[in-house]
Chains A and B, each alone.
Chain A
C-alpha cells in the first residue's frame, strides 16, 4: 500500500520570499504524483502532476515540483510567494496498478501555507 507524508503541517513565510513544501511517499510500485491546493472555503484544485518523463514539473500560479525517485520525494516550490498563495496544499499519489484498478488517490495530511505581508 502507498502512503504520503507531508513533513510540515504549517509553513509561514513573508511575501516575495521563496517557499518549499515537502512531500515524501512510499510505494512498492510506480506512482503518479499530484499537488492539490485548497483555498479557504473552496474545493481542491489541481496544481500540478507528475506522470513520467522530466522530473521537474511546472504547474499553475508559478509553482513547480521535482520528483526524486531515489529519495521518494515530490517537493513543491515557488521562488516568490504572494498573499494570494495562502491556502492548504495537499500532496497525493496514485499507483500504476494496471488492469481495472480504480487507482486509489492517497493524500498527505496537508500543509497550511500562510503568506504574511
Chain B
C-alpha cells in the first residue's frame, strides 16, 4: 500500500527560486495537511484542506501557497524561496477531522528542502 507519497524527497533551491512539493494519497481521505519540521520546534502546520477545492491557513502560512484541485493531491508551493524555509516538510492525510475519535493522521516520508 502506497499511503501518502511525497515528491521530491530532497531538493536544494537558490534564494528566490520557486518550486512545488507534491503530496499524493491513495486512501480517499478528505483531510490533508502540510507541516514543516524544524529542530527543537516539533511539527508546525502550514496549510490544510478539508476537501477537494478547499484550503485554509495553519500556524505558519506565510511564504507558502497550496492547492487541492484533486481529492488525492495536495500541492505546496514556494513562490520565492528564502533560507528561513530550509526545513523538512511533511504531508499528512486523515479520513475526517482529527477532532473526532477513532481517526488518525497518516504521514508521508518527508521532503528535505535546503534553500541557499
Contact = CB atoms under 8 A, between A and B. Distances in A.
B107 A94 contact: no
Given A107-B42, A109-B41, A102 B101 contact: no
A91 B32 CA distance: 20
B101 A32 contact: yes
Interface in A46-83: 46, 49, 51-52
B74 interface: no
Interface residues of A, number: 31
A104 B104 contact: no
Most buried by B among A4, A52, A94: A94
Given A44-B90, A109-B40, A110-B42, A34 B99 contact: no
B9 to A, nearest CB: 9
Interface in A71-117: 90, 94-98, 100-105, 107-110
A68 B63 CA distance: 39
B101 A52 contact: yes
A103 B101 contact: no
Contacts of B48: 102
B97 A102 contact: yes
Nearest to B99: A103
B43 interface: yes
A19 to B, nearest CB: 20
Given A34-B104, A46-B104, 14 more contacts: A4-B42, A9-B40, A32-B98, A43-B107, A44-B43, A44-B92, A51-B101, A94-B99, A101-B99, A102-B97, A102-B98, A105-B45, A105-B105, A110-B40
Interface of A: 4, 6, 9, 32, 34, 36, 41-46, 49, 51-52, 90, 94-98, 100-105, 107-110
Interface of B: 4, 31, 33, 35, 40-45, 48, 50, 56, 58, 90, 92, 97-102, 104-105, 107-110
